[in-house]
Amino acid sequence: MKKTEDTRKLEALIKEKSTEIGRVIADYKRLEEALEKGETRFRNFLETSNDLMYIADKDGNFTYTNASMARALGYSREEMKGMNISAILSVEARTLLEPRIAELVARGEITLEPAWMTKDGMALSGELKIVANYDFEGGFIGTQGVMRNATACVQTQVFDKEALMARFGGNGAFLREIAEAFLKIVPPQVEILKKALEVNDAEAVRMVADQIKGASDNVAAVAIHDLVTEIEAAAGTADLGRASLLAEQVDGELDAFRSALNASGLTGE
């Protein structure tokens, strides 16, 4: 049966539209992949940032805190999930924040310099920028915040001298020997860790991180211990991208630990 002119035109139109649909689907897939990569990069940024970051619902309950915030305040991230922001604010900070909530909702952001209280009752201060989150209809649904220049973070979290003395006694020479051994042993282990990451060996990363974690625990190197614990956890889920980003911070934490030891007099330098 011969095709009519209308039939040929219809077939050509269907072919043309099918090609267009194929291009749209291909573009959508590329956009979806780009969004997934962007989301991964953003989450890696949150997880490895030294700034203290959180997301809270409209009632001020934390739905997300990054590792730096939990570590600085002395809580686990599981403890902080669902915690109300008022639980970590000093009385003065709560007094300053409450009257500015309306301003935050109206303007979209505010900046404060509050004192956050750590789990052990120490004050942590710095510049806090709070940004309002809205739904598609413009309704207020919560906040996200970033605290920069947190003053108590390094001093209270790098090294716990009291814990070290409680564990091994007050013999300064012996404590110095332990600390110096740690500073000699761990840097080569860090290099092995980085090599394992380069070849994507998740099991080797996990094992070396566990060794560094044990060594840092022995000398009360709190920040290093917490950092390699996160590296170990990332390797355990084969998230080597995140593990690599975290590993980039280890050398800086070692330098901070060395400085804290020098200030304490334990290294004898």
58: domain CATH number is 3.30.450.20
233 sits in which H/E element: helix 222-236
Q: Is residue 62 one of the residues assigned to a domain?
A: yes
Rank 50-59, 126-135, 202-211 by mean pLDDT and report only the highest. Answer: 202-211
For the packed helices 240-247 and 5-48, what is the interaxial angle rounded to 10 degrees?
Answer: 40
The total number of residues shown for the chain amounts to: 269
Band of residue 32 on the pLDDT scale cut at 50, 70, 90: low
Query: pLDDT for 239-263, tens place per residue?
Result: 888 888 888 888 888 887 887 777 7
Q: Is residue 58 one of the residues assigned to a domain?
A: yes
Q: Please report, for residues 35, 190, 231, the alpha-carbon distance to residue 213 in angstroms, rounded to integers and kept in the order given.
A: 35, 11, 10
Band of residue 108 on the pLDDT scale cut at 50, 70, 90: very high
Domain endpoint, select from 132, 151, 170: 151
Residues 120 and 168 in one domain: no
Residues 37 and 58 in one domain: no
234: domain CATH number is 1.20.120
Domain endpoint, select from 125, 151, 177: 151
Question: pTM for this one?
Answer: 0.47
Residues 60 and 41 in one domain: no
Band of residue 191 on the pLDDT scale cut at 50, 70, 90: very high
Residues 2 and 83 in one domain: no
Band of residue 269 on the pLDDT scale cut at 50, 70, 90: very low
Residues 141 and 168 in one domain: no
| Contact (Cβ atoms closer than 8 angstroms) between residue 116 and residue 88 | yes
pLDDT at position 194, please?
92
Q: Please report, for residues 46, 101, 122, 145, 221, the alpha-carbon distance to residue 60 in angstroms, rounded to integers and kept in the order given.
A: 20, 11, 22, 11, 33
Assess whether pLDDT exceeds 60 at residue 190: yes
Domain that holds residue 15: 1-48
Euclidean distance between CA atoms 262 and 230, whole angstroms: 26
Residues 116 and 171 in one domain: no
| Contact (Cβ atoms closer than 8 angstroms) between residue 206 and residue 243 | no
Residues 40 and 116 in one domain: no
Q: Is residue 269 one of the residues assigned to a domain?
A: no
